């Protein structure tokens, strides 16, 4: 039994009907990491579908991420903030939006320890504005709300399914859980066609280097030590960006309204072991003296672990192995690490980047 929407029988019945295909999609946060990878995949695959990228161009966004589709006839960029209800409603109406894919969010845990109010504004208020705008508009057939595995909190045993209790342990995760509750409230009260996703860590091209893998690539390229939190023993699962884009494609077409889907992998490793593999992918010899063990986060979940079985039942499975994905990621950053301009502020152990840095290269 699903905790908020459909039970398993109802989800199976929805999956058996004809696949859904949108005509006009509003994708928020499309100049960010996962959003841009998903947009490129969808714009190229579905030339008959219009995709409107709505992004405020915060510090971690980069329009260079989208150069390969910027001239496609089914792609359009709109510079705007998701808390701007008037502009959101205007886009719904003028672009005849029938599907929302809501990626836009503040996502970096370190930032949330230093500037948590901004996370509440973007992740909770921003989601609420989108939901209310969608309700008032009345023409939305799918609203895919992108959340995180971090809403489950620390999981030291087993792999959690979508019906597991939410137990966020830090400000970022708490705002994502709050946003989920708003989405569920609009599903229950107004029958808004909500689908929720919760994903593992993602890596690959186009990720701003405040996150661990592109940060460490940039540090190694500069001949500097990688800064591991604590002793580097926290366990994490990683999915390559193209696999995640495929997952959103499947969920858009086959996902059941009223369902939650974990986008995950059973593969996991410690951050220390990830660092060793990254050095190998870069053709560099690894030794402990190339690591700087730094103060841990105020609270650092030691393990996230989710079961992707429900999504796999729709026909999705990751294709890119971790070491292969690392090699492709390293190759991309060797060529494109300058896309964001000066990223030195992001390469420190505990970055505290805020919106006044959004003037960096777009």
The set of catalytic residues is: 149-150, 172
Residues making up the chain, counted from first to last: 362
Q: Are strands 291-294 and 226-229 parallel, antiparallel or unpaired?
A: parallel
Strands (E), the chain: 24-28, 50-55, 75-79, 99-102, 142-148, 194-199, 201-203, 226-229, 235-236, 238-240, 260-263, 269-270, 291-294
What's the rounded Cα separation, in Å, for the pair 61 and 38? 14
Q: Are strands 142-148 and 194-199 parallel, antiparallel or unpaired?
A: parallel
121 neighbors 127 (Cβ within 8 angstroms): no
What's the rounded Cα separation, in Å, for the pair 329 and 345? 21
DSSP annotation string for 167-189: ---SHHHHHHHHHHHHHHHHHHH
What's the rounded Cα separation, in Å, for the pair 137 and 95? 12
Q: How far is CA 94 from CA 88, 91, 266, in A?
A: 10, 5, 43
170 neighbors 119 (Cβ within 8 angstroms): no
> Under DSSP, is residue 131 helix (H, G, I), strand (E, B) or coil?
helix
Start-to-end CA distance of the chain, whole Å, equals 45
Rounded to a whole number of angstroms, the CA Rg of the chain reads 19
Q: Which of 102, 205, 203, 91 is nearest to 146 (CA)?
A: 102
Report CA dihedral (352, 357, 361, 362) to the nearest 10 degrees. Answer: 100
What's the rounded Cα separation, in Å, for the pair 108 and 283? 28
CA angle, corner 265, sides to 301 and 256, nearest 5?
Answer: 105
């Amino acid at each position: 039994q699903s905790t908020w929407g459909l039970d398993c029988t109802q989800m199976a019945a929805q999956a058996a009907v004809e696949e859904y295909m949108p005509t006009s999609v509003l994708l928020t946060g499309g100049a960010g990491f996962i959003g841009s990878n998903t947009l490129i995949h969808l714009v190229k695959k579905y030339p008959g579908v219009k995709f409107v990228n709505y992004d405020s161009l915060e510090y971690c966004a980069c329009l260079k991420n989208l150069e390969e589709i910027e001239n496609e006839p089914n792609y359009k960029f709109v510079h705007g903030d998701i808390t701007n209800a008037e502009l959101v409603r205007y886009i719904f109406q003028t672009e005849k939006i029938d599907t929302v894919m809501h990626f836009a969010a503040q996502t970096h845990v370190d930032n949330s320890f230093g500037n948590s109010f901004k996370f509440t504004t973007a992740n909770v208020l921003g989601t609420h504005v989108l939901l209310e705008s969608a309700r008032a508009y009345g023409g939305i057939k799918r609203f895919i709300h992108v959340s995180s595995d971090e809403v489950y909190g620390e999981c030291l045993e087993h792999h959690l399914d979508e019906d597991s209790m939410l137990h966020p342990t830090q400000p970022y995760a708490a705002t994502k859980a709050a946003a989920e509750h708003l989405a569920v409230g609009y599903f229950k009260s107004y029958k808004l066609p909500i689908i929720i996703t919760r994903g593992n860590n993602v890596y690959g091209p186009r990720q701003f280097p405040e996150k661990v893998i592109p940060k460490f690539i940039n540090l190694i390229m500069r001949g500097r030590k990688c800064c591991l939190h604590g002793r580097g023993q926290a366990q994490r699962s990683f999915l390559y960006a193209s696999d995640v884009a495929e997952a959103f494609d499947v969920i858009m077409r086959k996902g059941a309204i009223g369902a939650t889907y974990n986008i995950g992998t059973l593969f996991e490793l410690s951050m220390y072991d990830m660092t060793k593999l990254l050095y190998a992918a870069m053709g560099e010899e690894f030794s402990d003296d190339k690591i700087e063990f730094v103060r841990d986060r105020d609270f650092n979940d030691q393990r996230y672990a989710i079961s992707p079985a429900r999504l796999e039942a729709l026909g999705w499975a990751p294709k890119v192995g971790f070491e292969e994905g690392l090699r492709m990621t390293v190759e991309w950053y060797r060529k494109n690490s300058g896309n964001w301009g000066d990223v030195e502020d992001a390469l420190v152990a505990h970055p505290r980047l805020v919106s006044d840095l959004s003037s960096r290269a777009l």
